[in-house]
Amino acid sequence: MNSLNVKKGDTVVVISGKDKGKKGKIMVAQPDDERVIVQGTSMVTRHVKPRKQGQPGGRIEKEGPIHASNVMLVCPKCDKPTRIAHKLKEVEISGEKKQKSVRVCKKCGKVID
């Protein structure tokens, strides 16, 4: 299983492709395919048939997947697109100290998770 530097709910900016420069929230993250679906970007048209009686058919526009390398996380603290560092943080869980990996902004150094 692959892991991504971004996850569902993160605000990202698209850094390449037809939607370059657009900001949006990640609605779906697909780590196995290394793709994300960002709100309001990569719009594709789908033709749908009416499935139930009274339901209209037609063309609907919805977001398509983008490769995860084409988006960059926007740091919630400094509000700038940034690369991500991973650091280990000590966490106490039920009396035991354990190491947990957290995401850190490369620009301001603040913990993102």
Encode 46-105 in three state secondary structure. Answer: EEECCCCCCCCCEEEEEECCEEHHHEEEECCCCCCECCEEEEEEEEEECCEEEEEEEEEE
Q: What is the CATH number of domain 1-51+58-74?
A: 2.30.30.30
| pLDDT surpasses 60 at 111 | yes
Q: Give just the sign of the alpha carbon dihedral 29, 103, 3, 101.
A: negative
| pLDDT surpasses 90 at 69 | yes
Residue intervals of the chain classified under CATH 2.30.30.30 are 1-51+58-74
Provide the whole-model pTM. Answer: 0.82
**Mean pLDDT calculated for residue range 49-64:** 92
**Mean pLDDT calculated for residue range 40-47:** 94
Percent of the chain whose pLDDT exceeds 70: 98
Instruction: Find out whether 38 and 48 touch, Cβ atoms under 8 Å.
Output: no
First-to-last CA distance in the chain?
Answer: 21
Closest CA to 2 of 74, 64, 68: 68
